[in-house]
Amino acid sequence: MLRSIELWRGQIDLVSPFRTSFGTDTSRDLLYVRAVGEQNSGWGECVAGVEPNYSSEYLENCVQLVTKFLIPMLQSDSTAQSFIASAAPIRGNFMSKACVETALLDMQLRDQQISLAKFLGATKTKVLSGVSVGIQNSLDDLVRTVGEYLAQGYVRVKLKIEPGSDIELVRAVRKEFGDDLLLQVDANAAYSVADAQHLKQLDAFNLLLIEQPLPEDDLGGHIELARLINTPVCLDESITSFETARTALDLEACSVINIKPGRVGGYLEAKKIHDLCFERGVAVWCGGMLETGIGRAANLALAALPGFTLPGDISASARYFARDITKPFVLESGHIAVPNLTGIGVEPLPEMLENFEKTATLKISKN
């Protein structure tokens, strides 16, 4: 039985700035949702950024949306499943829905004493770990940074690219680390289909994929680009639901999908997209949104499903944070262990939560 929902806010600095085609992050501003039940409570982390530049969602807006629209839908017998059904009339706002869903799921799975991994159908106890490398100040910095991550054991490297910083980045990394390195690039929607011939130069480097080259809503452009280049096109920002995933695959706008639970409205929808891709033999991998341990734990559970055949953007906590909100996730021989305790399997450490503020407690009415 759900008794109340708490919102927790705070900030954790990144160990180094993270630059993408749309901006630079130096810290993570956080919103956690806590579902307090009669026996157990559960946590969910909102993946939205401070600014609406990765997608149209942003953190302050999520706080409002959760408070004003989502929490009022809850009743004491709400479950993650009933919440998602009742939130269907609310358009978009996937990241807001996802963090409420995760908190409820964590709480109810703790009541049922099963792990999120088991609930979702995980078949692995550890997952291969990739690292996302932000745009650096120079090629030398890039090669050095990639070398450091490889020395730590990351098995796959993703380079952030943008117009003016693309082909030569890939060339430099291939030259230094060879053709066997699992390598991919992510443009975060920075190109247009007019850049197709330019992007075709990437074909020479045997990349695993190019992620989200064109704007989120340019499905037609992705279809055209995917025909023109040999590098597999993977969609991230464009995939906001099971339906958008199915359409993108049917129209051959992409051949690989990055699944991010926050971007698709939660783990229940993420699982549906996984199942669709698994059925069709389409490779998927789990994306990341610089999550702290709460979101990272839940992503690990998802990434342990059998269709996640490519290493994802689930790095060790230390990739981003000197101190994580939870016990840190560590890299062991290129893998990260999937939590196997009940629910998401982790909680905020009390000494870390002390630096956070509980900004709201909303009582849930009995029904």
Which positions lie near ligand SMG, rule CB under 6 A?
20, 25, 49, 54, 132, 186, 188, 236, 287-291, 313, 315
Q: One of 97, 118, 124, 160 is an active-site residue; which one?
A: 160
Tell me how far, at minimum, the Cβ of 132 lies from Mg ion, in Å: 8
CA atoms of 74 and 69, how far apart (whole Å): 10
Residue 363 annotated in active site: no
The residue count of the chain comes to: 367
Shortest-Cβ-distance residue relative to ligand SMG = 288
Q: Which is nearer to Mg ion, 22 or 205 (CB)?
A: 22
Q: Of these residues, 68, 260, 271, 363, which one is catalytic?
A: 260
Choose the one of Mg ion, ligand SMG, none that binds residue 132, judging by a C-beta under 5 to 8 angstroms depending on kind: ligand SMG
157, burial (CB in 10 Å: exposed 0-12, middle 13-18, buried 19+):
buried
CA distance 27 to 50: 10
CB nearer to ligand SMG: pick between 166 and 313? 313
Please, which residue, 21 or 96, has the CB nearer to Mg ion? 21
Residues contacting 359, CB < 8 A, separation 6+: 7, 8, 9, 63
Give the shortest CB-363-to-ligand SMG separation in angstroms.
34
Contact between 25 and Mg ion (CB under 5 A)?
A: no
Q: Which of residues 205-234 bind Mg ion (CB under 5 A)?
A: 211
Kindly state the smallest distance separating residue 273's Cβ from ligand SMG, in Å: 16
CA distances from 98 to 43, 190, 218, 237, 298 (A): 11, 26, 24, 15, 11
Is 271 a catalytic site residue? no
Cα distances (Å, whole numbers) of residue 227 to 9, 211, 219: 45, 15, 13
How many Cα atoms within 13 Å fall on the side-chain side of residue 109?
26
Nearer to Mg ion, 33 or 219 (CB): 219
Say whether 243 sits in a helix, a strand or coil.
helix
Binding partner of residue 25 among ligand SMG, Mg ion, none, CB under 5 to 8 Å per kind? ligand SMG
> Which are the catalytic amino acids?
160, 260
